[in-house]
């Protein structure tokens, strides 16, 4: 006797199952296969300054060299001690929210963490894919539990014959339920981070701006925060295709705001910044694009500071 005797029920289960399986595999492979985005050449030291930096032994003088170069870059975050963030391994000034991944051996734009589940560094280029992977994994488990629970109860209450299918049903239900609970907790945490416009690194260590540390420094309101990761067009949100806003090199903050044309011209003069989506430079977004208000309730203005 078949466990599911109704053909219409079988077909509906198979269709729903394979839809979520397809989306799960698609998002998983895009999260695995997307190369982490690194800083453009604009953030590398010019040859003359690089030679001076490498010859110099005093940290204070090295910082002065970095400050001169950073004046021409849209960089506004600092180390905990207030110094320019410089990567000695990659030999470049780190853009805001960029961190060096020791596993990938490169600086990653808007780095969140290095994930062993996808064997890749999660950052600006694939953070949306990673969240969709968690979301579809959770929904995949929900579909399995929802289609199995009726027969799980029937076997448990001895309404169906005691066959080998009983063990398979029980095992499938418990495994799917356990995976759902574990994945849902991770998904909930990352959705909370998206709503706050924080990375995992920033959640544990607040970014330091010129006016001090601010854990919510990049938060521009829930809707704007979500759009920064998933994009401004909702029709692309459920698909693992690149739709995140910006170029990953500069970000609108609540305290420092960048003129998009000036910032892009600076980056293109020193080395064209590329988007992981299509390899072309994208304009830096500012809060004036939609005249919205930030979390603090103050209208964001656009200025370019002469000092880093």
Q: Which residues have a catalytic role annotated? A: 115
* C-alpha to C-alpha distance for 199 and 55, rounded to whole angstroms: 35
Question: What is the signed CA dihedral for 228, 249, 32, 204, rounded to 10 degrees?
Answer: -70
Angle separating helix axes 59-70 and 47-55, nearest 10 degrees: 170
Angle separating helix axes 222-230 and 127-156, nearest 10 degrees: 100
CA atoms 27, 285, 213, 226: torsion sign: negative
Q: SS3 of 213, please?
A: strand
Q: Where are the beta strands (DSSP E) in the chain?
A: 77-78, 86-87, 92-93, 99-101, 106-108, 113-115, 120-122, 208-209, 212-213
The number of beta carbons lying within 10 Å of the beta carbon of residue 225 is: 19
User: How do 92-93 and 86-87 pair as beta strands?
Assistant: antiparallel
* C-alpha to C-alpha distance for 28 and 131, rounded to whole angstroms: 10
Cβ atoms 208, 75 nearer than 8 A: no
Q: SS3 of 115, please?
A: strand
Q: SS3 of 166, please?
A: helix
- The single-letter DSSP state of residue 297 is S
* C-alpha to C-alpha distance for 77 and 218, rounded to whole angstroms: 11
């Amino acid at each position: 006797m078949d466990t599911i005797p109704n053909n219409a029920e079988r077909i509906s289960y198979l269709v729903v199952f394979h839809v979520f399986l397809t989306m799960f595999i698609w998002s998983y492979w895009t999260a695995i296969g997307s190369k982490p985005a690194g800083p453009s050449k604009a953030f590398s030291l010019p040859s003359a300054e690089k030679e001076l930096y490498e010859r110099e032994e005093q940290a204070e003088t090295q910082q002065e060299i970095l400050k001169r170069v950073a004046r021409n870059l849209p960089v506004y975050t600092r180390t905990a001690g207030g110094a320019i963030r410089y990567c000695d391994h990659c030999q470049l000034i780190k853009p805001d929210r960029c961190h060096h991944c020791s596993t990938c051996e490169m600086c990653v734009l808007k780095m969140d963490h290095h994930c062993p589940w996808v064997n890749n560094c999660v950052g600006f280029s694939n953070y949306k894919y990673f969240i969709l992977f968690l979301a579809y994994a959770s929904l995949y488990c929900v579909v399995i539990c929802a289609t199995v629970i009726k027969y799980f109860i029937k076997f448990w209450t001895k309404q169906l014959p005691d066959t080998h299918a009983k063990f398979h049903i029980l095992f499938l239900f418990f495994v799917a339920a356990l995976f759902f609970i574990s994945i849902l907790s991770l998904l909930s945490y990352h959705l909370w981070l998206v709503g706050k416009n924080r990375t995992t690194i920033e959640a544990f260590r607040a970014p330091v701006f010129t006016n001090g540390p601010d854990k919510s420094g990049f938060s521009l309101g829930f809707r704007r925060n979500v759009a920064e990761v998933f994009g401004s067009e909702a029709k692309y949100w459920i698909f693992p295709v690149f739709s995140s806003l910006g170029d990953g090199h500069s970000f609108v903050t609540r305290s420092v705001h960048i003129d998009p044309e000036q910032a892009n011209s600076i980056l293109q003069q020193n080395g064209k910044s590329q988007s992981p989506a299509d390899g072309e430079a994208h304009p830096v977004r500012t809060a004036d694009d939609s005249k919205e208000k930030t979390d603090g309730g103050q209208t964001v203005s656009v200025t370019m500071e002469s000092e880093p």
